Amino acid sequence: MSTMKAVVLRDWNDLTVAEVPRPEPGPGEILVQVTACGLCGTDLKMVQGKFQERGWPPSLPFVMGHEWGGTVAEIGPGVTRTDLAVGDRVVGENHIGCRACSNCRTGRYNLCIQAGKTEFKLYGHTAPGALAEYAARPEVMLHKVSDAISDAAGALVNQGSLTVHAMRRVALQPGSTAAVFGPGLLGLMSTAVAKAMGAAKVIVVGRGSRLGLATDMGADHVVDYEASDPVEAVRELTGGLGVDNVFECAGNPAVVDQALGVVRRGGKVALLGLTGGKATPISPDKLTLDEIDLLGVRSSPNAYPIMIKLMETGAVDVGPLLTHIYPMEGASEAFAALESREAIRPIVQP
């Protein structure tokens, strides 16, 4: 059996680079040589054992990684796609749903009713991830990308696609206004994608050096919540009206109240960040009397092709975000840069 190098979680908080069996592409699968894999907060929590209850990972040792791209290395038996050949560059989704339940059949495969069942594969969470030299995936999960998207940039398509889904959830209109809370990767991508889709004014609320990056990614205004009251500041920047859409990307329950404070009457609030199970009080009357739509946003159903186009055409330039790139041996260092918040998105290039 041939082997490959992979970043293996041996025990909680114990990562190592090891030789593991190289996956063989099964029926309908394509083997991809991984060229880049981003690390996110979910990966970090998995390393720390904080998602054990969810079965992420189901057992140890485990190979993580779900924000990734690579080059087609081998086409498995029975693959029907004719648009992919060995050597093509691709990015990969991590699940496709069961393709049979009512949600999957209406395109909402991010909400597959079978998800969570033991046989359901969520790659990088319940099935082997892409923090390795190779990954085998069902053909339908892969999307071809052109050379206009670098290997490292390809690792950002996953989170970018989630923000495309968020724009669809709020039905973002050209000329509209938006506030983005939390300039992490999701917030910065939301900023760039909202601008690319025609938002006239995007205001980013956060603190520190990430606000400079928000400007680089297209923010029209930034608000430092340590220097001024964010609700007042956003209201002031919109002539007292509030914004059409709010994107909560901080994953902070206290921010939900601020989001409701800055949205205009009849506006929409999209929640992209996870709070880790924390609760927050919400005024139902505010939602009712101002007809505020409060929308959850999960994953990126049918959004990869849009994000790829936005990046290939230059409508979204992720260049400013590609600041921390590591070889596979530097994976522990990459996780440390994520934990210290030094890096927005560390990327490992096997």
Q: Could you list the residues that contact Zn ion (CB under 5 A)?
A: 40, 42, 97-98, 101, 104, 112, 114
Judged by beta carbon, residue 44 or residue 200, the one nearer Zn ion is 44
DSSP single-letter state for residue 228:
S
Judged by beta carbon, residue 162 or residue 233, the one nearer Zn ion is 162
Judged by beta carbon, residue 97 or residue 230, the one nearer Zn ion is 97
Smallest distance, Zn ion to C-beta of residue 282, A: 27
Return the closest-CA partner of residue 67 out of 152, 4, 187, 7: 152
Smallest distance, Zn ion to C-beta of residue 316, A: 18
Pairwise CA distance, residues 130 & 133, whole Å: 8
Judged by beta carbon, residue 160 or residue 206, the one nearer Zn ion is 160
Pairwise CA distance, residues 135 & 296, whole Å: 30
Per DSSP (E only), the strands in 116-259 are: 134-138, 142-144, 177-181, 201-206, 221-224, 243-248
52's CB contacts (< 8 A; 6+ apart) are: none
The CA radius of gyration of the chain, in Å to the nearest whole number, is 20
Smallest distance, Zn ion to C-beta of residue 116, A: 11
289's CB contacts (< 8 A; 6+ apart) are: none
Smallest distance, Zn ion to C-beta of residue 222, A: 25
Judged by beta carbon, residue 160 or residue 330, the one nearer Zn ion is 160
Smallest distance, Zn ion to C-beta of residue 263, A: 27
Judged by beta carbon, residue 102 or residue 280, the one nearer Zn ion is 102
Smallest distance, Zn ion to C-beta of residue 313, A: 24
Q: Taking the chain, what is the end-to-end CA distance rounded to the nearest angstrom?
A: 20
Contact assessment for residue 196 and residue 310, using Cβ atoms and an 8 Å cutoff: yes
Question: Cα separations (Å) of 247 from 87, 169, 203, 251, 264?
Answer: 38, 11, 10, 11, 13
- What number of other Cβ atoms are within 10 A of residue 288's Cβ? 9
Smallest distance, Zn ion to C-beta of residue 59, A: 20
Judged by beta carbon, residue 102 or residue 228, the one nearer Zn ion is 102
Residue 188 dihedral angles phi and psi, to the nearest 5°? -70, -40
- What number of other Cβ atoms are within 10 A of residue 173's Cβ? 13
Smallest distance, Zn ion to C-beta of residue 185, A: 9
Return the closest-CA partner of residue 206 out of 277, 278, 273: 273
Smallest distance, Zn ion to C-beta of residue 293, A: 25
Judged by beta carbon, residue 243 or residue 250, the one nearer Zn ion is 250
Pairwise CA distance, residues 20 & 328, whole Å: 14
Residue 114 one-letter amino acid: Q
- What number of other Cβ atoms are within 10 A of residue 238's Cβ? 18
Judged by beta carbon, residue 108 or residue 210, the one nearer Zn ion is 108
Pairwise CA distance, residues 18 & 204, whole Å: 41
